Amino acid sequence: MGVSRLGPGEAAVRFRDEVRPALGAEGLPTLITGMAGSNIGWLEVPYADCPADARALARGVVAVPGEAPFVGITPGLRGPGVYGPDVMRGEETQLIGWLAQDPARRQGAQVICHPGTHAKWVLAVDGRIERFVTAMTGELFALLTQHSVLKGGEGDADGPAFDDGLKAAGDGAALAARLFTARSRVVGGGGLVAADVRAYLSGLLIGADVASSPPLLDAPADATVSIVGDSKLCAQYQRALAHRGIEARVHDGEGAVLSGLVALFHAVMRQEPHR
């Protein structure tokens, strides 16, 4: 449905009249994660602060007044960012779920990448989310290919020019200058054609993200890198990391979300057994 498309009070009505019956869940307690807890959602829920584990996030779950059975909305997560605070809503549930799936992941330092519209790079230590950095990689790609001088290419974003874009990304510095090569190499005889621009831009943006974002975490050099999310997008990030000589493993994002909801739900129930 999308919270931005729901009017005031509509979320509660549609959840009760449509979502519960569709799932046969009229009598079940419910936990909701993501933008339902934002300032444009069903009920605004304050961010929990880093460092945070499942118990810390569970303490921030807010019960929706007047709903029976229990409906709880999870908090987002706030941490120190590049310049001021950084925030996420929804990804923290996936991260907690990924950590919960294997006890070995809750030992030592882990670097986790969640690709997407607003990609998240996360440092987890001993099962707690310590800090994270957001990169607007996916949104930049959409804006540039739809509303900039680089729009118009109809090629596959995963085409052969993706690897050329990875090379063009360099160390991720001077990104604004590097981006213009997606035009100059087409019109200036640089060996790029219009149909290659989407793949080239995708490689350039992901390559710059992979090169410049992880160092902001101050993670240990030997920290494991794991990519959690959509399989196709994760494969592109894995390709970009391999280009930099970094081995990374890809993990299913949907399974991690479900594991996170289960972990948070049990933590909430332990805190509030009457629910």
The pLDDT tens digits of the residues spanning 43-93 come to 999 999 999 999 999 999 999 999 999 999 999 999 999 999 999 999 999
Do the Cβ atoms of 217 and 111 come closer than 8 Å?
A: yes
pLDDT of residue 172: 96
pLDDT of residue 272: 59
Q: Provide, rounded to the nearest whole percent, the portion of the chain with pLDDT above 70.
A: 97
Give the residue carrying structure tokens 């499942």: 54
Do the Cβ atoms of 127 and 120 come closer than 8 Å?
A: no
**The Cα angle at residue 151 between residues 198 and 156, in degrees rounded to 5:** 25
Residue type, 224: T
Q: Is residue 144 one of the residues assigned to a domain?
A: no
Q: Is residue 171 one of the residues assigned to a domain?
A: no
What CATH number is attached to the domain comprising 26?
A: 3.30.420.310
Please say if the pLDDT value at position 155 is more than 80: no
pLDDT of residue 241: 96
What average pLDDT score do residues 12-36 get? 94
Give the residue carrying structure tokens 């729901």: 6
Give the range of the structural domain holding residue 259, as residue numbers without chain letter.
3-136+212-271
Per residue in 92-146, pLDDT tens? 999 999 999 999 999 999 999 999 999 999 999 999 999 999 999 999 999 999 9
For the sheet containing 85-88, what is the strand order?
48-49, 77-80, 85-88
CA 16 – CA 9 distance, rounded (Å):
12
Do the Cβ atoms of 77 and 37 come closer than 8 Å?
A: no
Q: Is residue 143 one of the residues assigned to a domain?
A: no
pLDDT of residue 78: 98
**Number of separate domains in the chain:** 1
Q: Is residue 146 one of the residues assigned to a domain?
A: no
Locate 71 and state its tokens. Answer: 């409906």
CA 32 – CA 67 distance, rounded (Å):
13
What average pLDDT score do residues 165-179 get? 97
Q: Is residue 76 one of the residues assigned to a domain?
A: yes
**133 strand-pairing partners:** 121
In three-state form (DSSP H/G/I as H, E/B as E, the rest C), the secondary structure along the chain is: CCHHHCCCCHHHHHHHHHHHHHHCCCCCCEEECCHHHCCCCCCCCCCEECCECHHHHHHCCEECCCCCCCEEECCCEEEECCCCEEEECCHHHHHHHHHHCCHHHHCCEEEEEECCCCEEEEEEECCEEEEEEEECHHHHHHHHHHHCCCCCCCCCCCCCHHHHHHHHHCCCCCHHHHHCHHHHHHHCCCCCCHHHHHHHHHHHHHHHHHHHCHHHHCCCCCCEEEEEECHHHHHHHHHHHHHCCCCCEEEEHHHHHHHHHHHHHHHHHHHCCCC
Of residues 265 and 9, more confidently modeled: 265
Q: Is residue 77 one of the residues assigned to a domain?
A: yes
Cα within 13 Å of Cα(225), Cβ side: 24
Please say if the pLDDT value at position 275 is more than 60: no
Per residue in 197-235, pLDDT tens? 999 999 999 999 999 999 999 998 888 899 999 999 999
Q: Is residue 188 one of the residues assigned to a domain?
A: no
pLDDT of residue 154: 67
pLDDT of residue 274: 43
Q: Is residue 231 one of the residues assigned to a domain?
A: yes
pLDDT of residue 5: 85
For helices 253-271 and 91-100, what crossing angle results, to 10°? 90
